[in-house]
Structure formats: structure tokens, C-alpha cells
């Protein structure tokens, strides 16, 4: 079993066949992700349809920095949150801090000039995009080297938010210093990968500051980018092999850790989809999603 990658050019042309392949391949895993948060069955279908339609509507501005799966799961997450907010709108309103200053008020009281604020925001966004690429490159490199304990340690820190004390005990390392050393070496390697990219000069400087002075004075949080980019999520083929019991010990240890201890919601949804792809409920869901997607494509002049 291999990971199918859609043709973005065809999707942007609103090609029916390519979008139906997307629906067939992704609807199940998206549904299982939604089902973990949305208890009402009809609402699950609604959120799924909104996700697939959102993917169609937004494909023209698809960012190749991310994979298509990250793109569509990001939309699914947002639509799920929207549904949860609609259900709890009164609670959310009561929790709003009315004294929180508006963006304009923050700008007016900031010591930074408007141009400095804009420049910092632009740097942060560009740096995040580049860092997401570099984190995935580091994960792939570490996986290829068979360094699965190192990979689990870094995932525990960046994805799980674990403390050094808990991490060294979990993996049988000597002490907290061992964990700190693994983290610094990983950041140094990521900095080296950044240095190889001419467009990553500012990111290289930021990473240099981070490795020299700890977490302080860094414009964004490496952990946040790690989680948002799903840097360490195993490919679907590895999840399928894990279910089939054909993974070697090293990859299996990491996949089990990612699913059972990090409890990655996206990958757990993938696994549930792999287990139940032929179920009656999913078949019904496929049909509804297919009809909704086709209706939108045809209304926009896509191929029939």
C-alpha cells in the first residue's frame, strides 16, 4: 500500500475525477478525526462536507510548503472548531476578556513603529514556513539513520511538551543533561540545514540565537511549528504496515509511541480509517460527500 498524492494542477482545474479520488482517499480519515470531537452523527457529516467543499474552494491558493493531507486536515480542524464554537457560543462569549486591547490599541501603545511590526510579522511567517520544511527534513534524515530513540525524544519535547526530567526516565537515558544534549544537537543540525538554503538567512540567524541562548528572544516557538506542520507524522503506508504487523522494531517503536503516547489525533484518525474503510456508515458518508463535492464542482464549471 502506498500514499496516493493528488495532482494539484488537476485539482486547481476542478477536475471531477481527481477530486473524487481525493474524496475516496481522504473522507474516511477526516470523518474519524471529526468523530473524536463531534458527537452528533449528522453534524459529523455536515462538518465533513464543509471540509471537502472548503478544500475545493481554497485549492487555488494551495501552499506547496505543506502536503495535501496537511492542507485538508487543517481545513477539517478549523471546520470542527467552528462547529464546537457554534455549540458553545454562550460559554465562549462569557469567557471573552473584554479588557483585552484591540490590535489597533496594541499598535498605538507599542514602542515599535508600524513598519517594524509588519516586518516582524513577515519574518515570522516566512520563517515558520521554512522551519516546517526543515523540521520534516530533519525527521526524514533521522528516520533514515535509524535513530528512532532520538526521534522519539525530540517528538516528546516538541510535540508532547514533555519536561527533560520525564523524558530521560521514559527512554532510559543517563539524566536530564542527556536530553538537553539531544535537543541541542537536533537544533544545530536544523540550523545547518537552514544554512544550506539561501532563502533561509534570517531563519539561520534565529536558530543560531536559539542554540546559543536557549528559548529566549526567539520570534516563534519551534514546538508550535512542529505540531502545526505535523513534522513527525508517519506516512500512511507506515501506519498500514503497523496494523498489518510488518514493521521492523525501530519504526514500530516510533509509530506506537506517536499513536499511544503522543496520541496524535490525525494519525489515530488515519488508523481508524484503515481499520474500517468498508463499514456501512463510511460508505454512506462517501456517497453524501461525493454528491456534495460534485455539485459544487459542476456549479463552478468543472469537468462533468
Give the Cβ contact number of residue 93 at 10 Å.
Answer: 8
**Given pLDDT bands bounded at 50, 70 and 90, which one contains residue 282?**
low
- Look at residue 102 in the predicted model and tell me its pLDDT: 41
| Domain residue ranges of the chain, discontinuous segments joined by + | 10-95+277-304, 121-230
- Look at residue 138 in the predicted model and tell me its pLDDT: 95
Digit-coded pLDDT (tens) for 44-92: 888 998 999 899 999 999 998 888 998 999 999 999 988 888 877 544 4
Digit-coded pLDDT (tens) for 214-263: 443 343 578 888 988 899 999 998 999 999 999 999 999 999 999 999 99
Phi, psi of 32 (to 5 degrees): -65, -35
Mean pLDDT of the 102-114 span: 41
Q: Which CATH architecture has domain 10-95+277-304?
A: Orthogonal Bundle (1.10)
**DSSP symbol at 112:** S
Q: Give the span between the Cα atoms of 198 and 141, in whole angstroms.
A: 20
Q: What angle do CA 175, 194, 257 make, to 5 degrees?
A: 40
Cell readout for 3 is 500514499
User: Exposed, middle or buried by CB within 10 Å (0-12, 13-18, 19+), for 122?
Assistant: exposed
What does pLDDT average to over the chain? 80
Amino acid at each position: 500500500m502506498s500514499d496516493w498524492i493528488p495532482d494539484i494542477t488537476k485539482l486547481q482545474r476542478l477536475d471531477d475525477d481527481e477530486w473524487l479520488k481525493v474524496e475516496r482517499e481522504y473522507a474516511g480519515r477526516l470523518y474519524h478525526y471529526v468523530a473524536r470531537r463531534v458527537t452528533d452523527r449528522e453534524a459529523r457529516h455536515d462538518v465533513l462536507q464543509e471540509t471537502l467543499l472548503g478544500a475545493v474552494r481554497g485549492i487555488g491558493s494551495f501552499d506547496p510548503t505543506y502536503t495535501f493531507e496537511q492542507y485538508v486536515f487543517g481545513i477539517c480542524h478549523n471546520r470542527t472548531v467552528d462547529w464546537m464554537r457554534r455549540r458553545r457560543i454562550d460559554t465562549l462569549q462569557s469567557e471573552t476578556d473584554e479588557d483585552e486591547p484591540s490590535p489597533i490599541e496594541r499598535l498605538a501603545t507599542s514602542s515599535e513603529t508600524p513598519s517594524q511590526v509588519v516586518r516582524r510579522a513577515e519574518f515570522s511567517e516566512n520563517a515558520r514556513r521554512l522551519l516546517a520544511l526543515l523540521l520534516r527534513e530533519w525527521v526524514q534524515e533521522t528516520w533514515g539513520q535509524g535513530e528512532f530513540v532520538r526521534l522519539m525524544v525530540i517528538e516528546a519535547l516538541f510535540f508532547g511538551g514533555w519536561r527533560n526530567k520525564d523524558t530521560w526516565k521514559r527512554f532510559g537515558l543517563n539524566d536530564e543533561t542527556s536530553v538537553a544534549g539531544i535537543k541541542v544537537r537536533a537544533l544545530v543540525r536544523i540550523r545547518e540545514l537552514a544554512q544550506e538554503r539561501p532563502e533561509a538567512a534570517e531563519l539561520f540567524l534565529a536558530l543560531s540565537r536559539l542554540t546559543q541562548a536557549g528559548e529566549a528572544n526567539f520570534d516563534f516557538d519551534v514546538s508550535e511549528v512542529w505540531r502545526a506542520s505535523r513534522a513527525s507524522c508517519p506516512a500512511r503506508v507506515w501506519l498500514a504496515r503497523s496494523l498489518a504487523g510488518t514493521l521492523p522494531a525501530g519504526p514500530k517503536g516510533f509509530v506506537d509511541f506517536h499513536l499511544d503516547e503522543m496520541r496524535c489525533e490525525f494519525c489515530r484518525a488515519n488508523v481508524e480509517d484503515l481499520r474500517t474503510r468498508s463499514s456501512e456508515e463510511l460508505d454512506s458518508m462517501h456517497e453524501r460527500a461525493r454528491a456534495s463535492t460534485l455539485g459544487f464542482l459542476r456549479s463552478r464549471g468543472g469537468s462533468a
